[in-house]
Amino acid sequence: MKNIKFGWDYWNYSRQPEIRKIIKKNFSGFSPDYTWQNDSDTLPLFDSKYQPTNAWHNIVNILQRHLSPRNKLIDKDTKDFIKDNESFIYLISTNGGPALWCGGHDKRSTLFHNIKEHTKQHIRDGKVLVTIDMSFEGFPMDGTGKLSTIDMGANPHIAEIIHKRAEEENFPTDKIVILSANHKDPENYRKWCKENNIKKPINWILLDWCEKAISSDYEHLTETFEDNFNYKVQNIDKLKHYLCLMRRWKMPRVFHHMALNYFNLLEKGSVSAILAKWDVRSVFRDLDRSKIEMANEGEVTFSDCASLNDYEFNKTLKDFTFLDLVVDEYQTRLKPELTDLGRSKFLYKIRSRKNVEDFLLKLPLTVDKNHFDALDSFHHWDSSLYKDTIFSYVYETWSYSTNMVFYSEKIYKCILNFHPFLTWANPDTIKYLNQNGYKTFSPYIDENYDTKYDIEERSTLLLKEMMRLCDMSIKDLLDWYGNQSEILIHNYNHFMHNNHLQKSGDKFLKVYDKVVKTDEWMFYGQ
Which 8-state DSSP code applies to residue 100?
G
Residue 20 has pLDDT above 60, yes or no: yes
3-state DSSP call for residue 102?
Answer: strand
3-state DSSP call for residue 216?
Answer: coil
pLDDT of amino acid 245? 93
pLDDT of amino acid 105? 53
Which residue type, as a one-letter code, is found at position 511?
V
**β-sheet bridge partners, residue 91:** 131
The residues, any chain, with a CB within 8 Å of residue 2's CB and separated by 6 or more, are 70, 71, 72, 518, 519, 521, 522
Lowest mean pLDDT among 60-64, 295-299, 473-477, 501-505: 295-299
Predicted confidence band of residue 220 (pLDDT cuts 50, 70, 90): low
Query: pLDDT tens-digit profile of 112-132?
Result: 877 889 999 999 999 999 998
More confident of the two residues 422 and 279: 422
pLDDT of amino acid 36? 43
Which residue type, as a one-letter code, is found at position 232?
K
Average pLDDT of span 361-374: 87
The residues, any chain, with a CB within 8 Å of residue 185's CB and separated by 6 or more, are 138, 140, 141, 178, 204, 206, 404
pTM listed for this prediction: 0.87
The residues, any chain, with a CB within 8 Å of residue 175's CB and separated by 6 or more, are 123, 126, 128, 129, 130, 514, 515
**Residue % of the chain over a pLDDT of 90:** 45
pLDDT of amino acid 57? 65
CA distances (Å), origin 261, targets 248, 256, 309, 471 = 18, 9, 24, 15
More confident of the two residues 419 and 281: 419
Greatest distance between any 2 Cα atoms in the chain = 72
Query: pLDDT tens-digit profile of 308-325?
Result: 888 999 999 888 788 898
Closest Cα to residue 277, out of 289, 290, 266, 261?
289
DSSP notation for 309-377: HHHHHHHTGGG-TTHHHHHHHHHHHHHHHTTTSS-SHHHHGGGSHHHHHHHHTTPPB-SS-S--TT--T
Query: pLDDT tens-digit profile of 497-512?
Result: 877 778 888 889 889 9
Question: 213-233 burial, b for 16+ CB within 10 Å, e for fewer?
Answer: bbbeebeeeeeebeebbebbe
Could you give the angle at which helices 409-416 and 485-497 cross, rounded to 10 degrees?
A: 120
Query: pLDDT tens-digit profile of 130-157?
Result: 998 888 777 888 877 777 777 777 788 8
The residues, any chain, with a CB within 8 Å of residue 327's CB and separated by 6 or more, are 353, 356, 357, 360
Please state, as a whole number, how many other Cβ atoms lie within 10 Å of the Cβ of residue 3. 12
Closest Cα to residue 495, out of 214, 274, 285?
214
Is omega for the bond preceding 427 within 30 degrees of 0, making it cis? no
Contact 71, 4 (CB under 8 A): yes
3-state DSSP call for residue 395?
Answer: strand
Contact 398, 250 (CB under 8 A): no
More confident of the two residues 298 and 406: 406
